[in-house]
């Protein structure tokens, strides 16, 4: 029921995902009077689905505390998350209110052992392919141990998404020199070097322009700066698109040039299509939850389902737990700091 368009996008998106992954089975939570006519228009999806009526929907402008108070136990969002907790589903995918989804997911599923706070990891298109950037808005601020946890969780996700046994990880900073940056970031860098996790390759500090270059497979930062970077990138992509559209329609010569170069522009549009990388992963919870962009279409929602499918198929939670377990004998933070 979430997102800008609700079930009119979510259900067709699920139908697209089913075409790509015929082994998926869906548990659809929502208002039956609204959802049922749309679901009946997709008979293959209906045959592969169980429908659970939920009389309450979380609004996009609800505060997380309000959503928890009014929607716990009876909203479509809560029921979807709870189905992961009970084992009735392997992953929950929602286009709804991000703050409410994170609050409910954390309250219902709880964080994994040794993880203090969850994070949102985003798939980021780069000049070399794709990278993982986290945290992009789950929590504001991060101390050094939390940044190390982000590196562990992000590398596990990158290993699954990109089929890399030992992803390259960088800490986002204002410079690559070890003397630059705030103390928590510098300490996190020393901790990652000291701990030498076997499943990730820590390469040091990276700067903002390294994100788009694809310098590393995983970029680690705290939620405030990560969210700003994400929104800045989205805004820049829209800005470039508007500039190109205006330039190509300015004169008849420009229009002719567009026609001659249409193939190249189509390739650029495909590369910059945000729907292809839709689906933020909530990391650090005892369950897999995927946040789809609220304004996406069916293609974008299907991409979010694809991400959830891969996270479960390739056992994201087990990979995170395994890496954390291998670092159990690491020296205390105080010892590294000194």
For residue 315, what are its two tokens? 């056992």
pLDDT digits (tens, 9 = 90+) for 249-267: 778 777 777 676 667 656 6
CB 28 within 8 A of CB 52: yes
Task: Considering only residues 335 and 291, tell me which one the structure prediction assigns the higher pLDDT.
Answer: 291
pLDDT digits (tens, 9 = 90+) for 121-147: 988 888 888 899 998 988 888 899 999
Mean pLDDT computed over 47-61:
93
d(CA 278, CA 206): 24
| Confidence check: pLDDT of 325 > 60 | yes
| All domains of the chain in start order, with CATH | 119-274+321-337 (3.40.718.10)
Instruction: Count CB neighbours of 242 within 10 A.
Output: 10
CB 211 within 8 A of CB 132: no
d(CA 221, CA 229): 10
């Amino acid at each position: 029921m979430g997102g800008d368009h609700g079930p009119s996008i979510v259900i067709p998106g699920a139908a697209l995902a089913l075409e790509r992954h015929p082994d998926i089975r869906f548990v659809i939570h929502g208002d039956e009077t609204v959802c049922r006519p749309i679901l009946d228009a997709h008979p293959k999806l209906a045959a592969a689905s169980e429908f659970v009526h939920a009389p309450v929907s979380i609004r996009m402008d609800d505060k997380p505390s309000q959503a928890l108070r009014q929607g716990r136990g009876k909203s479509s969002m809560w029921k979807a998350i709870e189905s992961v907790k009970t084992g009735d589903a392997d992953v929950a995918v929602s286009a709804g209110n991000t703050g409410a989804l994170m609050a409910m997911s954390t309250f219902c599923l709880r964080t994994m052992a040794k993880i203090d706070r969850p994070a949102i990891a985003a798939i980021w298109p780069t000049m070399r392919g794709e990278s993982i950037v986290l945290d992009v808005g789950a929590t504001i601020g991060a101390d050094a141990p939390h940044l190390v946890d982000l590196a562990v969780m992000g590398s596990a996700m990158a290993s699954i998404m990109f089929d890399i046994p030992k992803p390259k990880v960088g800490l986002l900073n204002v410079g690559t020199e070890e003397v630059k940056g705030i103390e928590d970031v510098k300490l996190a860098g020393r901790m990652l070097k000291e701990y030498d996790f076997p499943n990730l390759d820590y390469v040091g500090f990276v700067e903002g322009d390294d994100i788009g270059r694809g310098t590393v497979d995983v970029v680690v930062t705290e939620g405030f700066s990560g969210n700003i970077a994400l929104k800045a990138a989205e805004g820049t992509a829209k800005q470039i698109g508007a500039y190109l559209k205006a330039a190509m329609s300015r004169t008849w010569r420009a229009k002719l040039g567009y026609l001659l170069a249409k193939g190249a522009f189509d390739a650029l549009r495909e590369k910059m299509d945000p729907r292809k990388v839709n689906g933020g992963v909530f990391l650090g919870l005892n369950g897999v939850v995927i946040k789809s962009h609220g304004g996406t279409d069916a293609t974008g929602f299907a991409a979010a389902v694809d991400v959830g499918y891969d996270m479960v198929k390739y056992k994201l939670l087990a990979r995170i737990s395994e890496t954390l377990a291998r670092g159990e004998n690491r020296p205390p933070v105080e010892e590294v700091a000194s």
